[in-house]
Amino acid sequence: MIREPLIFEISAKGKRAFGLPKLDVPAKDQILEGLAVRDEIPDFPQVSEVEIVRHFTRLSQVNYCVDIGFYPLGSCTMKYNPKVNERAASLGGFITSHPFAPEDMIQGNLEVLKRMEDYLCEIAGMDAFTLQPSAGSQGELTGMMLIRACLESRGNPRKTVLIPDSAHGTNPSSAHLSGYSVQEIKSNQAGTVDLEDLARNMTEDVAALMLTNPNTLGVFEWDIKKIAEIVHAKGGFLYMDGANMNALTGICRPGDAGVDVIHINLHKTFSTPHGGGGPGSGPVGVKKAFMPYLPVPLIEKRGGRYALNFDRPKSIGRVRSFYGNFLVVVRALAYILTLGPEGIKEIAEVAVLNSNYIRKSLDQEYHLKYDSPTLHECVFSDKVQKENGILNIDIAKRLIDYGVHPPTMSFPLIVHGALMVEPTETESKRDLDLFIEAMKKIAQEAKENPEILKSAPHHSYVRRLDETTAARNPVLKWVREKKSGVSRT
């Protein structure tokens, strides 16, 4: 197998892959006088165009992706990314727009943003949306800051945020960055919020409950209205992490169930590609009471024209430059318009059908800690396989040999050895069956030949990597090897 070198290792003095037209203005000497400048950037690459093309083509071939196959990474909603959305987002009128261009010259952009806000309001049952947050966790931060601003205006920002023990790690982190301490709420035997624990902890010091619904087990919080009542009765607010909105589109609206503030991930529910880790988009929806605090600017429609309103004295300010990840919004809008209301509802219907089909097909081989009905995802564990010394990571690595991306393992923390499977709605039965068959074979192998799992993957470009050494002796960049040996940083 060809091992693709680092670009720096094939670089050689004098090679080029780029040139500019000759300078067409008279060159002026002495411009750089007195400035700290440099003649060259030490070790910066010098390669030819064909080397660039082969380098990245080869690197692409050692990546697994949604376009290749099934990617049931739970809670990440790795659905198919429609190609027409890419085309829409590459139109010249969009990509050349400068963020400070005069309003009347970028009416198309403002219309895209405003209509997206309106459609998200309709889908989530909220009164207003901001599209500024760059990803889900920035959405959480924005949402919690909005809650804080609203409470402050009532005289007391409060101290604590309640978060169920099943939550994603970004929730406590975002709450902390908003100036709150975090109190964990227990899950009950059904895997949902323990109402007694909630009522006990819900005091007038509590600003909000951050609730993921359906939660990370894929279980819908049946008591959501009661939960909202408990929180509201003490003057707190209900924040919903809408990462799992894919289970609910067209079925039920968080805003109708007492949710005050919500974020949605356009790169999950609305199919924008994950790009190897972004760019995403994490719009935040609010009820009326929070509208004065939304980030600046707000997009408004006045007499058929769209305008940006910066004059908002109560706003929390901004959480980034400009108007958010605009091109991600273009893709998501294309998706909503392609699907229409029936198609949007079908997202949830088929995502939930696919997930339950997998659950039912594997519940003999793999342990399910909670037997509550689940929606778009289900969380198995390695409890059965552990008897043979096999952990979730071994199952995951063996799945790679069968040509499937492993499920999520890092959470929920309430399931030890978790295997969180989210198939999404776009998968064919054939791909679901390939996964089910692979999982069954692995369950069999765990009993009969556990070593083959322990040493998996066997057929990938690299095999199991030493992550401990990577963290203990970090090598985080390439450096020219010195004669005496490898230098590290």
Stretch that binds another protein, among 195-203, 284-292, 317-325, 441-449 (CB under 8 A): 317-325
126 binds another protein per the rule CB under 8 A = no
- Assess 474 for contact with another protein (CB under 8 A): yes
403 residue type, one letter = G
Least distance to another protein, CB of residue 305, Å: 11
Widest pairwise Cα distance in the chain:
78
Half-sphere exposure of 448 (CA within 13 A, CB side): 6
84 forms part of the interface with another protein (CB under 8 A): yes
Residue 305 near another protein by CB under 8 A: no
| Residues paired with residue 193 on neighbouring β-strands, in sequence order | 187
Nearer to another protein, 235 or 250 (CB): 250
Interacting span for another protein (CB under 8 A) from 230-238, 379-387, 405-413, 444-452: 405-413
| Under 8 Å between Cβ of 128 and 301 | no
| 24 near another protein (CB under 8 A) | yes
**Interface of this chain with another protein, residues 406 to 445, rule: CB under 8 A:** 406, 408, 410-411, 425-429, 431
Task: Give the contacts of 228 (CB within 8 A, at least 6 positions apart).
Answer: 238, 257, 258, 259
Q: Which of 467, 482, 484, 485 binds another protein (CB under 8 A)?
A: 467
Q: Are 388 and 446 in contact (CB under 8 A)?
A: yes
Q: Does 263 bind another protein (CB under 8 A)?
A: no
For another protein, which stretch binds (CB under 8 A), given 140-148, 196-204, 231-239, 380-388? 140-148
Q: Report the residue from 128, 159, 179, 312 that binds another protein according to the rule CB under 8 A.
A: 179
CB of 288 to another protein, least distance (A): 19
Given the structure tokens 């309430």, which residue do they identify? 414
The window from 179-187, 377-385, 414-422, 445-453 that contacts another protein (CB under 8 A) reads: 179-187
Q: Confirm or reject binding of residue 390 to another protein (CB under 8 A).
A: no
Whose structure tokens read 């939304």?
A: 294
Q: Work out whether the CA dihedral 432, 434, 438, 444 comes out positive or negative.
A: positive
Q: Which helix (H) or strand (E) holds 239?
A: strand 237-242
**Phi and psi at residue 193, to the nearest 5°:** -60, 130
Q: How far is the CB of 42 from another protein (least distance, A)?
A: 7
Q: 271 in helix, strand or coil?
A: coil
Region of 53-61, 230-238, 378-386, 445-453 interacting with another protein (CB under 8 A): 53-61
Q: What is the dihedral of CA 393, 362, 405, 65, to 10 degrees?
A: -160
CA–CA–CA angle 358, 360, 363 (5° rounding):
100
Q: Which of 18, 302, 304, 485 binds another protein (CB under 8 A)?
A: 18
CB of 387 to another protein, least distance (A): 25
* From candidates 148, 158, 287, 398, binder to another protein by CB under 8 A: 148
> In 3-state terms, what secondary structure has residue 374?
coil
Residue tagged 């198995």 (tokens): 380
Q: Are 384 and 427 in contact (CB under 8 A)?
A: no
Q: Which span (104-112, 233-241, 283-291, 438-446) binds another protein, by CB under 8 A?
A: 104-112
Cβ-contact 73, 39 below 8 angstroms: no
Residues 230-249 that bind another protein (CB under 8 A): 248
**Coil, helix or strand at residue 173:** helix
* DSSP SS3 for 13: coil
Cβ at position 303, least distance to another protein in Å: 16
Distance CA 339, CA 337 (A): 5
Interface with another protein in residues 197-216 (CB under 8 A): none
Closer CB to another protein, 387 or 389, in the complex: 389
Considering only 112, 150, 227, 332, the residue that binds another protein (CB under 8 A) is: 112
Asked if 214 and 375 count as a contact pair (C-beta separation under 8 A), the reply is yes
Q: Is 12 in the site for another protein (CB under 8 A)?
A: no
Q: How many residues of this chain bind another protein (CB under 8 A)? A: 203
- Kindly state the smallest distance separating residue 104's Cβ from another protein, in Å: 8
Of 52 and 289, which has the nearer Cβ to another protein? Answer: 52
For the range 412-416, what are the long-range contacts, defined as Cβ-Cβ under 8 Å and sequence gap of 24 or more?
A: 412/165, 412/166, 412/167, 412/215, 412/216, 412/217, 412/379, 413/165, 413/166, 414/165, 414/166, 414/187, 414/191, 414/217, 414/369, 415/217, 415/369, 415/370, 415/379, 415/381, 416/381, 416/383
Q: Taking a C-beta distance cutoff of 8 angstroms, is the pair 376, 351 a contact?
A: yes
* 154, 188, 204, 225: which one binds another protein (CB under 8 A): 225
Task: Give the footprint of another protein on residues 357-376 (CB under 8 A).
Answer: 357, 360-361, 372-375
Min dist. Cβ of residue 443 to another protein (A): 18
Rounded distance, CA 346 to CA 457, Å? 36
- Within 8 A by CB and 6+ apart from 66, the residues are 78, 79, 80, 81, 273, 274
Per-residue mark of binding to another protein, 264-303 (x: CB under 8 A)? -x-x---x-xxxxxxxx--------------x--------
Tell which one of 70, 72, 74, 82 touches another protein (CB under 8 A): 82
Task: Tell me which of 2, 16, 303, 482 binds another protein, using CB under 8 A.
Answer: 16
Nearer to another protein, 41 or 485 (CB): 41
Q: How far apart are CA 285 and CA 239, in angstroms?
A: 10
Q: Quick check: 482 binds another protein (CB under 8 A)?
A: no
Locate 109 and state its tokens.
Answer: 């952009």
Considering the complex, state which of residue 141 and residue 447 has its C-beta at the smaller distance from another protein: 141
